[in-house]
């Protein structure tokens, strides 16, 4: 089980790197911010790609499980950074996605 929590923490870091890497260009293109934000965005996306390689499972299984955590982290970002209140549907969807991630990660070794 400790492996599970390490993988979830790594997924959270991976999701944050991806979200930051996509959010900064959004600020440039939609928010009129400085184009210099593309530099940390590119570095964040490079970190995202590197972090994906640290997961122990096969790439396809990693991407499938990562999706569940990404949804939860994206909704947390929506709440904390964008200040948007989550709906019951948001929370329910995140719980379903998280359950899917847990099923994939906790399966018996193939």
Cα–Cα distance measured from residue 56 to residue 81, given in angstroms and rounded to the nearest whole number: 31
Residue 57 lies in a domain: yes
Query: Which range marks the domain in which residue 7 is found?
Result: 2-105
> Are 14 and 66 within 8 A, CB to CB?
yes
Residue 6 lies in a domain: yes
Residue 69 lies in a domain: yes
Write out pLDDT tens, residues 51-68: 988 987 777 888 888 899
Residue 13 lies in a domain: yes
Q: What is the mean pLDDT of the chain?
A: 91
Structural domains of the chain, count: 1
Residue 110 lies in a domain: no
Write out pLDDT tens, residues 2-47: 688 888 899 999 999 999 999 999 999 999 999 999 999 999 999 9
**Comparing 73 with 106, which gets the higher pLDDT?**
73
> Are 14 and 51 within 8 A, CB to CB?
yes
Residue 89 lies in a domain: yes
């Amino acid at each position: 089980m400790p492996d599970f929590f390490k993988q979830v923490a790594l997924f959270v870091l991976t999701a944050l790197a991806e979200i930051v890497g996509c959010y900064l260009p959004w600020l440039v293109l939609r928010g009129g911010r400085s184009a210099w934000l593309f530099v940390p965005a590119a570095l964040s996306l490079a970190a995202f790609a590197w972090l994906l390689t640290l997961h122990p499972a096969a790439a396809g299984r990693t991407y499938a499980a990562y999706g569940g955590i990404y949804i939860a982290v994206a909704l947390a970002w929506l709440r904390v950074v964008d200040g948007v209140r989550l709906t019951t549907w948001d929370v329910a969807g995140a719980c379903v996605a998280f359950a899917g991630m847990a099923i994939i990660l906790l399966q018996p070794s193939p």
